[in-house]
Amino acid sequence: MSDDEDMRRAVALSLGDSGTPSTLADTVENDEDAQFQADLQRAIEESKASTLSKPAAPAVASPSFLSERAQLEKARLERQKRFRGEDASASTAPPTKRQHLSSSHLLAKADTTASFARRAAPVAYTAPSGSEPFFWDGELRQTANKHVDTKKDTRPTFRLSEIIGQKSEISFAIVSSYALMLPWIYEFFSPSTPVILIAQPNESGNESLRNVLPNWVMTTPFLRNGRGCMHMKLMLLFYKTGRLRVVVSTANLVDFDWRDIENTVWLQDIPLRSKPVSHDPKATDFPAAFERVLKALNVRAALDNMLKTDHPNLPIKSIQDIRCKWDFSQVKVTLVASLAGKHEGWPSVILTGHMGLMRALRDLGMRAPKDKEVVLECQGSSVGTYSTQWMNEFHCSARGDSAEEWLDQSKTKRSKLPWPPIKILFPSLQTVRQSVLGENGGGTMFCRRNQWDGAKFPRELFHDSRSQRGGVLMHTKMIVATFRDRNTPFTSKQRPLDVDSGSETEDSDVVEVVPSDAKKDYAGWAYVGSHNFTPSAWGTLSGSAFNPILNITNYELGIVFPLRTAKDVDRVAAWERPARKYDLKKDLPWMQDESTVLKSH
């Protein structure tokens, strides 16, 4: 599908039936919404006439369009509040000879320092007071959902409108999404706000730049042979006050991800430094990792274009400015990214994919002790094609162990290992049918019959995915790792390590994400982000201990942080624990390709 077709489809989707009953507010808004969409389409067509290969300014909407759009939006929001009593987003070449730098050498500092433990602070579920809350210590929440069981939905949630805040206060934004409803997300920003939108490339997989809306530039990264996806979900929101909000989520920029299915969001507000610091090309901290991600996503080209055309006064002049001008010292999570492509040699492979996860765990002091095993619970919306080799390869990284010993083993030995202690969480057919939206709500969950019926597929590792908040389906991508004694059998009813909860009370909603200091046991760690539990997302390792190679298909992004207690594990996990193991005599995973309900639409 071409970009133009994508655009037309997005507009059509925004005008089409949402599949939910209409309300009085919807009826009243129909005429004005149609006019807005016509105006929006006119602006889109004007924007398409421009080209980013020239320094000329992009096409912009006429002043009358902007004025009319502002008045229309204001009136619409007022009606939504009056009729619904809530915000609208609620619903919504051969290798050259080189020096041998081993992973052990490169990670020695992470193993011998516990700097993170000395400066860590909690990420809380408690919401700050005030109409426009700030989250200077970071916040992890589920998204608001109109179908949850209200008796179980007891913790604070995020709506997209709350995350973005007052649109008039935003000076610049960088956002990304795999699936996209452009007219819908456009409404969350002022028409005059410059926005860089990172999206999925077309079939060629080439980098590209394009004006898609007034003041909006769409950029796409490179994908080899057009294979894979730009699957990251991120936001960098720059406010006129100087504050920067960093958002990493599991939700796409489509209305149903924010209304009908469950997703998870982490965000943190970052203050301006009193004085900018010099660029450090050797930095490996959170903002340095983000800088690497943005460069890979072709954001630098989009930023340069904006600065040379209509927006010379953006809050950043280069991607490096993000780390130099803002103070990230209070960020206590570690960024984990997958960058599509072939990564060769230790310095490269430990920066991305599951090897990047391994490094992050070492940075956090969370390498599994020798006497402990790591049990993984992996929740996602897409099932991969698994082998015992890949599963053990991933588990090696999840323990925080270097892959040197793993790569020194013969391929034959690696391919005959038993399955590691991993639970794959994916909704069963029964769970989907019993959910509030039934099979109609399962359109974003993917498992194929040829996967499930594969002779060596790990069916015995599958567990049912059921939300803690009732009959909603989860689009959340999350891994929860818990530690257990190595001599403890791995069963489907295995609970996390029973550790001392300290002074924490039974009713506390605060989840401490303080890492290990090597003197005290912790329950484990968690990952939240765009990675599904698949080789495409996390990468596949090959090569040798001297020269490792990591091939990754997708662009992905998430965060990882430690969990102090067993109670913290249960609070962070979005699913009911312990997850029920599939009864292979009667349970099947949800396979949307076989749904007669979806086929009938």
Here the CATH number for the domain that contains residue 398 is: 3.30.870.10
Pairwise CA distance, residues 127 & 24, whole Å: 32
- Contact in structure between 317 and 214 (CB atoms under 8 Å): no
Of residues 133 and 334, which shows the higher confidence score? 334
Q: What is the pLDDT of residues 522-563, one digit of tens each?
A: 899 999 999 999 999 999 999 999 999 999 999 999 999 999
pLDDT at residue 63 is higher than 80: no
Confirm whether 77 is domain-assigned. Answer: no
Q: Is 233 annotated among the ligand-binding residues?
A: yes
Phi, psi of 335 (to 5 degrees): -80, 135
Confirm whether 381 is domain-assigned. Answer: yes
Q: Cα–chain-centroid distance for residue 440?
A: 24
- Considering the entire predicted model, what is its pTM? 0.79
The H-assigned helical ranges of 335-426 are: 346-349, 353-363, 388-398, 404-408, 411-415
Q: What is the pLDDT of residue 246?
A: 98
Average pLDDT over every residue of 555-580: 96
By C-alpha distance, which of 412, 428, 459 is closest to 575?
A: 428
pLDDT at residue 369 is higher than 60: yes
Q: What is the pLDDT of residue 123?
A: 37
- The separation between the first and the last C-alpha atoms of the chain, rounded to the nearest angstrom, is 21
| Cα angle value 80/81/82 (rounded, 5°) | 90
- The number of domains in the chain is 1
What 8-state DSSP symbol labels residue 507? T
Confirm whether 41 is domain-assigned. Answer: no
Confirm whether 423 is domain-assigned. Answer: yes
Average pLDDT over every residue of 105-118: 40
pLDDT at residue 15 is higher than 70: no
Phi, psi of 446 (to 5 degrees): -130, 120
Confirm whether 383 is domain-assigned. Answer: yes
Average pLDDT over every residue of 213-241: 97
Q: What is the pLDDT of residues 166-211, one digit of tens each?
A: 999 999 999 999 999 999 999 999 999 999 999 999 999 999 999 9
Of residues 115 and 382, which shows the higher confidence score? 382
Confirm whether 16 is domain-assigned. Answer: no
pLDDT at residue 580 is higher than 80: yes
| Cα angle value 467/469/474 (rounded, 5°) | 35
pLDDT at residue 2 is higher than 80: no
Q: Is 477 annotated among the ligand-binding residues?
A: yes
Q: What is the pLDDT of residue 41?
A: 53
Confirm whether 20 is domain-assigned. Answer: no
Q: What is the pLDDT of residue 127?
A: 36
pLDDT at residue 78 is higher than 80: no
Q: What is the pLDDT of residues 296-346, one digit of tens each?
A: 999 999 999 999 999 999 999 999 999 999 999 999 999 999 999 999 999
- Conformation bin of residue 480: beta by default, left when phi > 0, alpha when psi is -120 to 50: beta
% pLDDT > 90, the chain? 68
Name the average pLDDT for the chain.
Answer: 81
Q: What is the pLDDT of residue 601?
A: 72
Structural domain range at position 595: 342-489+507-599
Q: What is the pLDDT of residue 600?
A: 83
Q: What is the pLDDT of residue 42?
A: 53
Q: What is the pLDDT of residue 323?
A: 97
| Cα angle value 588/594/597 (rounded, 5°) | 110
Pairwise CA distance, residues 499 & 565, whole Å: 6
Beta bridge partners of 558: 336, 529
Q: Which residues are catalytic?
A: 231, 475
By C-alpha distance, which of 262, 227, 265 is closest to 380?
A: 262
Q: What is the pLDDT of residue 486?
A: 81
Where would I find the beta strands (DSSP E) of 207-312? 208-213, 216-220, 234-239, 244-249, 264-270
Rounding to the nearest 10 degrees, give the CA dihedral for residues 178, 181, 184, 188.
Answer: 20
Q: What is the pLDDT of residues 21-57, one digit of tens each?
A: 333 233 333 444 444 445 445 544 544 444 444 333 3
pLDDT at residue 361 is higher than 50: yes
Pairwise CA distance, residues 467 & 153, whole Å: 10
Of residues 435 and 124, which shows the higher confidence score? 435
Q: What is the pLDDT of residues 381-419, one digit of tens each?
A: 999 999 999 999 999 999 999 999 889 888 888 888 999
Confirm whether 567 is domain-assigned. Answer: yes
What 8-state DSSP symbol labels residue 225? G
